[in-house]
Amino acid sequence: MTAEDPAFRQTLSRLPAALKDAGFRGGIERDSALRAAMSTDNSVYRILPDLILAPMDAADVVTAMSVLETPPFDAIPLTARGGGTGTNGQSLNRGVILDMRRHMHRLIAVDPEGQWADVEPGIVLDDLNAQLRPHGVFFAPETSTSTRCVVGGMVSTDASGKGSRIYGKTSDNLLGVEIARGQGLLDSLAPAPDWAQPMLAAAETAARAGRDAFMLAVFAAMAALGGIAALGLDEVQSGP
């Protein structure tokens, strides 16, 4: 189906009701101003989406996926969006945009001694580090867009920025991710459930399946303020 196809438009018009019937609690919007804002990012491209979904939490993403994986809704393009700071148009598409920043921006847990944090994908880098600073730690990748980029987007693009030669890129500071399918949640730090086995067999990780999997939580390694953390969460060494 194409965006101009009457069948596509009919399917899209049925989607909001199907999401509500399934128990989706987040925002479902077709406001022209919001769609226009979501049609651009930090690139030169512009693609107008048809519908914006803003899930409340991980369970809400699972609910949305349970609908969007079911025919005929599985024919609708689906794209996750964070801060919209990408320079290559990665978060732009027609169909449905999953806005991860609006509600899913919480710091779930932090362990300063273990040097890890559990965060939702929509948390802004500067906001995360402001909450971590009192604990004497920070999330090491320093991007030029730190006031608005989100951790989920940093993971998807493997962001680095200044300091990466010391602390590494985002992937060097990533311990695990939690992703969603319509069947439930898949935690990369836990044994995979039975329903995920075929998916994992077909791809190196479910997160690389594009529209089929969306990151819900990030377990991030942290560096101590004033020190240099060896990769793999080894003991922190004193800085100069």
pLDDT at residue 221 in the model: 65
Residue 166 is predicted with a pLDDT of 86
- The continuous run of DSSP H or E covering 128 comes out as helix 125-132
The pLDDT of residue 215 = 54
Residue 151 is predicted with a pLDDT of: 94
Global pTM? 0.83
Provide the strand spans (E) within the chain.
Answer: 27-29, 51-54, 78-81, 96-99, 107-111, 116-119, 137-138, 174-181, 184-187, 214-221, 223-224, 227-228, 237-238
pLDDT of residue 57: 96
Block residue for tokens 């089929």: 212
Length of the chain: 240
- Average pLDDT of the residues in 39-48: 96
Average pLDDT over residues 199-227: 59
Nearest one of 102, 13, 89 to 54, comparing CA atoms: 102
Q: What value does the mean pLDDT of the chain take?
A: 86
Chosen CATH of 107-238 out of 3.40.50.2300, 3.40.50.300, 3.30.465.10, 3.40.50.1220? 3.30.465.10
- pLDDT for residue 233: 26
Average pLDDT over residues 120-141: 93
Residues 6+ apart with CB under 8 A from 237: 227, 228, 229, 230
Percent of the chain with pLDDT over 70: 83
Task: Give 54's pLDDT tier (boundaries 50, 70, 90).
Answer: very high
Token pair recorded at residue 170: 């985002």
Alpha carbon distance 194, 128 (integer Å): 34
For domain 6-99, the CATH class is: alpha beta
What is residue 214's predicted lDDT score, i.e. its pLDDT?
58
Q: What pLDDT, on the 0 to 100 scale, is given for residue 69? A: 96
User: What is the pLDDT confidence band of residue 228, given thresholds at 50, 70 and 90?
Assistant: very low
3 state DSSP class of 52 = strand
- More confident of the two residues 58 and 213: 58
Domain ranges of the chain: 6-99, 107-238
